[in-house]
Amino acid sequence: MLYTNLKHIETAAEHQKFISENENVMICCGRMGPMCIPVYGIMELLEPEYSKVKFADMEFDSPESHVIRNVPEVREFRGIPFTMYYKNGKLVKATSSIQSMEQVRTVLDSSFEK
């Protein structure tokens, strides 16, 4: 379990339901480590500001997170977390490793038209 204040997605079925029922979604797939924790914190801070985006986390080491770990867009990634941005159920952007507030805002604004 990830100790964040974000919605936790635990299964592949929950992942599919979440991205299909919400127009704009950001999911951070990671661990409770030094590269991931800052991204969770940024998401928690931005959640009230981006009311049209649904934020969630998913455990990287869970077998269920294969729905994130195995997509072609992350094949070259070498660092976690894998941060996925979905619009209308489709992956529109994927990033990896630690991100700054500015980097996350840029992706949110360009992917979801703030």
Helices and strands, number each (H, E), in the chain: 4, 5
- CA dist., res. 109 & res. 107, Å (int): 5
Residue 10 predicted with pLDDT over 90 = yes
Return the amino acid letter for 65: S
* The token pair that represents 71 in the structure block: 């997509």
CATH code of residue 78: 3.40.30.10
Q: How confident is the model at residue 1 (pLDDT cuts 50, 70, 90)?
A: confident
CA-nearest of 70, 77, 85, 106 to 18 is: 85
Per-residue pLDDT tens for 60-80? 999 999 999 999 999 999 999
* The token pair that represents 76 in the structure block: 């070259």
pTM value?
A: 0.96
Average pLDDT over residues 27-33: 97
1 within domain boundaries: no
32 within domain boundaries: yes
Residue 39 predicted with pLDDT over 70 = yes
39 within domain boundaries: yes
For the chain, give the number of residues. 114
Q: How many domains, in total, are found in the chain?
A: 1
Decide: 104 and 43 in contact? Cβ < 8 Å: yes
28 within domain boundaries: yes
2 within domain boundaries: no
* Mean pLDDT for all residues in the chain: 96
114 within domain boundaries: no
The range of the structural domain enclosing residue 21 comes to 7-109
* The token pair that represents 81 in the structure block: 């977390």
